[in-house]
Structure 1
Amino acid sequence: MALVSRICARTLLQASASSTARSLHTTPAPQQQQAPIEGAKRTTCTLIPGDGVGPEIVYSLQEVFKAADVPVDFETYFLSEVNPILSAKLEDVTSSIMKNKVCIKGILATPDYSVEGELQTLNMKLRNELDLYANVVHVRSLPGVKTRHKNIDCVIIREQTEGEYSALEHESVPGIVECLKIITAKKSMRIAKFAFDYATKNNRKKVTAVHKANIMKLGDGLFLKCVEEMSKLYPRIHFEKMIVDNTTMQLVSNPNQFDVMVTPNLYGNIIDNIASGLVGGAGVVAGASYSAETVVFEPGARHTFAQAVGKNVANPTAMLLCGAKLLRHINLHSYSDVIVNAITKVLEQGKVRTKDLGGQSTTQDFTKAVIYNLH
């Protein structure tokens, strides 16, 4: 009798599910919820326009996303250290990013002097609050962009929660300032593991540790020791070490020798900018900062280009590539491919170029050209 009851119950449930499915299929979905390429639900992403030309290139990204019917909604917060009156509260921004897990961010300007005497910048506070420990900048040659070196393809992985950016400075006696550089084994091992995991996942062959352990024997010595220890766990990845000043020379003379580089905080910041200059400048390189829970996508070379504000001359390529990286991260690969292919076509054709790439086209011209090539 119990068996019969279970069979009857199962039959009723199946009939009910079938009826529900039929009713769902016969009800047309709202037009705005349909994705033309991938039937994915909409994703909410925190958006920080940034300072300088940030709002202009973020607007380009929004226009391209709109034209491509990308199923992403933006939750916008204006965050700024140079415009504190207009700025949102840091805790509101971090709460949004922690909730959404993903963020698109323009570059935040950092004043040389803090009005309140605060040593920690807004950028540093944001990274520390979210524990955005790994900054990843993929520097590669773009088609149609003329540069001295060809076929550059390297990845710079930077630890960005300690090192020289620890905001620990004091004037011990008048005229003498001491700045503390913090290097810990825990964070050095963490960024080393991230670098080797990245190399393994992305079929990279070599990891180069950039250091100055010959001079800073304890601080950089600890960092280098941690990376060396981690390298032993990845025998298929070739490991090498290089002093930072030699790295900068090698980078501008023979950049093709590099694959993945892992660096402490300050060295990574410098190398990011040098490498970006090799492939066309700050306007064409995208980056991302990772924590265990969240990702913030932002241009790889951190320049606000304040002198170009309102002139409609900024190159939005880096921000558009950030958007493409975001889409791949949330598993919307086909949308990402469409946008990257459109950018590639515009650069290859060479008819629409912003001033930084030797042309006279405006930010809006480039954006419209990318939208025209979306298909």
Structure 2
Amino acid sequence: MSNKVPITVAHGDGIGPEIMDATLKIILAAGAQLEIDTIEIGEKVYLRGNSAGIEPGAWDSLRRTKVFLKAPITTPQGGGYKSLNVTTRKTLGLYANVRPCISYHPFVKTLHPKMDIVIIRENEEDLYAGIEHRQTDEVYQCLKLITRPGSEKIIRYAFEFARANGRKKVTCFVKDNIMKLTDGLFHKVFDEIAAEYPD
């Protein structure tokens, strides 16, 4: 049995291949043992008539490896094309966008040497649901979708992440003074779930 970690790699479009080549060189030079499965996504796939930007067989690789290293891709402008990033999130249930922000002080000069936060953002709802339409030639509208189940899922994820990683504080950022219904629901669900995590 191989000790290599299976990983799906997409070289992307534009500057993507150059970025991916450099990224892989760094990762491999650091000693990572990878079993790389390369898939094609983005502009070339769109231009072959696939409006999703990804071939059906590529999903098998993503489900098998559970690791996706993706360079920037192009989504053609105009109607009929779907964002591959949104499609990937929805298809694979990647509802949590986890972004660590950690200071590298003293190796990197910073005004915030003790910074160590993690931002967890909802990836499938809110404006990321991508529900848009044109009212007139000069007016376009995007719907903000917030559901109780979606809110519960991401909020519980944030609290479980904090607990698993020894973090003592979870902060909710909303704009419920203006968006009283949508962000109001999210904030209400946050407060309900927060009560379950006194630690």
Shorter-chain TM-score category? 0.7 to 0.9
- Aligned residue-pair number: 195
How far apart in 1 are the matches of 2:178 and 2:81?
A: 26
State whether structure 2 residue 160 is matched by structure 1 residue 194.
Answer: no
CA distance in 1, matches of 2:42, 2:84: 8
How far did residue 56 of structure 1 move?
2.6
Structure 2 matches for 1:243-258, cutoff 5 A?
Answer: none
Deviations 1:33-87 (CA, angstroms, capped at 9, x unpaired): 8xxxxxx722321112233443233223322444454331110123224873489
2:34 aligned with 1:72? yes
**In structure 2, C-alpha distance between the alignment counterparts of 1:105 and 1:89, rounded to whole Å:** 12
User: Residues 83, 95 of structure 1: CA spacing in aligned structure 2 closer, same or farther, 3 A cutoff?
Assistant: closer
Q: Does residue 85 of structure 2 align to residue 120 of structure 1?
A: no
Between the aligned partners of 1:219 and 1:69, the Cα distance in structure 2 is 46
1:142 aligns with 2:104: yes
For 1:170 and 1:68, the matched residues in 2 are separated by: 47
Pair 198,77 (structure 1): closer, same or farther in 2 beyond 3 Å: same
Q: Which has the higher helix share?
A: 1
Structure 1 unaligned regions, length at least 5: 1-32, 34-39, 237-375
Q: Secondary structure at the match of 1:167?
A: strand
Amino acid at match of 1:63: K
Partner of 1:181: 144
1:171/1:65 CA distance change after superposition, 3 Å: closer
- 5+ unaligned residues in a row in structure 2: which ranges? none
Greater share of residues in strand: 2
Decide whether the 8 Å contact of 1:81 with 1:122 is kept in 2. no
CA–CA distance in 1 between the matches of 2:81 and 2:190?
A: 29
Residue of structure 1 in register with 2:20 after alignment:
58
Give the equivalent residue in structure 1 for 2:63: 98
RMSD: 2.4
Structure of greater relative contact order (alpha carbons < 8 Å, 6+ residues apart): 1
The answer to whether the 8 Å contact 1:48/1:104 transfers is yes
- Quick one: percent identity of the two aligned structures? 37
* Separation of aligned partners in 2, 1:67 and 1:214: 50
1:1-375 alignment to 2 at 5 Å? 41-81=3-43, 84-85=46-47, 89-110=54-75, 113-114=77-78, 117-118=79-80, 120-143=82-105, 144-236=107-199
Amino acid at match of 1:221: G
Secondary structure (helix, strand or coil) at the match of 1:166 reads strand
Structure label with greater radius of gyration? 1
**TM-score, scaled to structure 2:** 0.85
